[in-house]
Amino acid sequence: MEYLAPTSIVEALSSLHQHRGSARVLAGGTDMLAGLNDISTVHSNAEKQSGATLVLVDIKRVPELRSITVRADGALVLGAAVTCQEAATHPAIQKCWPGFAEALAASGPAQIRSRSTLGGKLCQAAGAADVAAALMAIDACCRVVSVSGERLIPVSELILSPGRTCLRADELLSSIELPAPRAAMADAYAKVSSRSSLGKTYAGVAVALTVKEGRIDSCRVALAAVSLVPALAERAASMLIGNRLEPDVLARFRRQIAGACRAGVDSQQTADHKAHVASELAISAARVAWQRSAGGGSEGSR
């Protein structure tokens, strides 16, 4: 095994390009280091055939990946190596996207949040991903770079399957870009943790919406831990658009959320219970987002 610690993006990309296929990016290391023995064992078997050595590329010393920037247009650019704790407590994030801050705070115990990074959380591509779901709801994007150039990928398109993203072997997720919130726009996140695994998400729902003239003008809903990967619930979100949070609207919304929960992750009994829990969480998050939005109020929200 080889360990590299680049101090610039150029150096990091050069390392990934040179060792593409055998390089692994190390940021917080909370998940990778826990499974490093398994990775090493699997890789050592492959190494005997290919001759390639496992290379860890530690990006924590790259300053550009550790910064949080507020652009002139109000958008936020978060370096991929920013920790979940740093992002959760940043004043601009708490002000602009409190739901995302809630998801960050709920993503694990404080000692884990202080080490785990935004890029690591996304590239882990886990189904129980609070951070990914919250970013999907606010339509955030990932900036991905390589020696060949860069591309901007919506977070909703990043995760392909459990443990697998659309990043190529020599690409690096350099930053996450949060849009500037529009007028009367707000988000919220609600989750329930698993009793059997401390802090692990049993079900989570992120909602972002705008209110115009007393009705929901736009809405995005994302679900965590109720299917193999976090995903948008577009049909459920469409139930709220053009409406207030009135009982009949919430009943349709609840049914769509339950229908968006996919069996296959758990037993059918657990999947059914998760669908019920997720539908209640979705209503709770929608109400909080409504109340936070300018123009949102008590009308129809109870």
pLDDT at 52: 73
pLDDT at 267: 72
Given 34, 58, 82, the domain boundary residue is 58
Tens digit of each residue's pLDDT (9 = 90 or more) over 26-43: 987 766 554 454 444 334
| Co-location of 160 and 197 in the same domain | no
| Co-location of 103 and 168 in the same domain | yes
| Co-location of 109 and 45 in the same domain | no
pLDDT at 39: 42
pLDDT at 46: 41
45: domain CATH number is 3.30.43
Residues above pLDDT 70, as percent of the chain: 87
Tens digit of each residue's pLDDT (9 = 90 or more) over 150-197: 999 999 999 999 999 999 999 999 999 999 999 999 999 999 998 766
The mean pLDDT value for 234-238 works out to 98
Rounded to the nearest integer, the mean pLDDT of the chain is: 90
Q: What is the rounded distance in angstroms from the CA atom of residue 5 to the CA atom of residue 15?
A: 9
Q: What is the rounded distance in angstroms from the CA atom of residue 188 to the CA atom of residue 206?
A: 6
In the chain, how many domains are there?
A: 3
| Co-location of 161 and 190 in the same domain | no
Six-digit token pair at 142?
């990932």
pLDDT at 212: 95
pLDDT at 42: 37
pLDDT at 32: 53
| Co-location of 69 and 36 in the same domain | no
pLDDT at 301: 41
Sign of CA dihedral 79, 83, 84, 86: negative
pLDDT at 197: 63
Tens digit of each residue's pLDDT (9 = 90 or more) over 124-145: 999 889 999 999 999 999 999 9
CA nearest 115: which of 76, 86, 91, 78? 86
pLDDT at 75: 98
Identify the residue with better confidence: 21 or 104: 104
pLDDT at 128: 86
Model confidence at 266, pLDDT cuts 50, 70, 90, reads low
pLDDT at 295: 52
> What is this structure's pTM?
0.90
> How many CB atoms are located within 10 Å of the residue 87 CB?
29
The mean pLDDT value for 219-236 works out to 96
Tens digit of each residue's pLDDT (9 = 90 or more) over 241-265: 999 999 999 999 999 999 999 755 5
- Ordered DSSP codes for 120-184: HHHHHT-SS-HHHHHHHHTT-EEEEEETTEEEEEEHHHHEEETTEES--TT-EEEEEEEPPPPTT
CA nearest 74: which of 96, 99, 101, 90? 96
Given 10, 37, 58, the domain boundary residue is 58
- Whether the pLDDT of residue 65 is over 90: the answer is yes
| Co-location of 49 and 30 in the same domain | yes
| Co-location of 67 and 167 in the same domain | yes
- Whether the pLDDT of residue 51 is over 60: the answer is no
The mean pLDDT value for 192-219 works out to 90
Picking from 75-84, 192-201, 206-215, which range would have the lowest pLDDT averaged per residue? 192-201
228: domain CATH number is 3.30.390.50
Residues above pLDDT 90, as percent of the chain: 80
| Co-location of 72 and 172 in the same domain | yes
| Co-location of 170 and 192 in the same domain | no
Domain span including residue 224: 185-292
Tens digit of each residue's pLDDT (9 = 90 or more) over 282-301: 999 999 999 999 655 444 44
The mean pLDDT value for 217-222 works out to 98
Given 178, 199, 232, the domain boundary residue is 178
154: domain CATH number is 3.30.465.10
- Whether the pLDDT of residue 211 is over 90: the answer is yes
